Chain A
């Protein structure tokens, strides 16, 4: 531990420069809130020789709203985003997912970018980000690029970031009129727990008809999933029982979970249907309110 180099650059360019030069051995870690990294270091899972603290980089801490389109810095903490009142009105599902991570103390540090890059299949904010249709901007030695959230991960703990790339911010589409999103997770306790199944739903309604829908699942596969068959089942429907059931079955079919100490395959499959229906109900209620 005493030999770790700690760098706290002020600009993205500096950070990328250091990261791209030193990350080849996988010994350099990016530090945002540190709520995952510090635990990993203490338990010996991660033994970095260099830590790059990105909290001094302006873009990563910024929240902006361009005519209804939000851009949220990768290192913005959950408690900070909570205070940005209008964001929660636009994307209540994303905010509630982010706010489920850890305790109140952890919320002062935990960020969307950290949750995404930790790449746990059970990360709470990831399904909500996928359902929102947000994209993530990354900056690397070869410049900037945008990626849809659903293609960010390649497996448990693994991302499609290239060497030296750092997550900068999240860009949310302009919220459609009469749309709403919601995130629910199943945990054995009521808080301070990790999702056994997570489900996010984002729907847009016009004249009682579903005109757009995005459904995402967490903790049921090596990475969070966009369930396109569920979207297809919903779009064009009046959320009638058959359509909802078809979408629920699509969720169940999309699951590719494992048996582990947190839940069985059969449990996760059953619960994915239940959570989808409950999250959908919540999303519809929000959509109808505007």
Chain B
């Protein structure tokens, strides 16, 4: 098979993700495997497809439900390629996520967790109502590069500065991202966080920026 034919099938896979077309994606993957395209290139096409969808989310051209559908298609593709294990082995960034103690709201955290997972992070989701000790021990155990803390209410959000302080004491290089309805940029900074995402839309850019700042020891 020539490069042109390979590119054609990879384009088909890429477009199937934002187009929410699992049949097209499955056909594309089968065809790609028959043509001997390396799994890594197929995964790259899936990621590029998700990126197309995410850019449309950024510009509000697609609503969140449609973006989540794209993630579903990507996941189906990865399942077909049995790629989860590969991703873990290939140095995906370990990330711990959870909602602070006393807060039962899991939807926002679940969406964020899903986006991180689909974007290649190795996600350890601790769920809701997570005590500070659990965040600290899991960050240590998983050697997390990122800790994502969520709180949807002001009365539970106040635990964040203490959690961040304690995490930083045992894992100073872990980047702490915070998010949730009562937070804003200034609060996030005053809590000692390394990054803040206002919504799922800017999540990846903000996380990457925080990781970049941490890598060059730049202050936020």
Do A and B come from the same complex? no
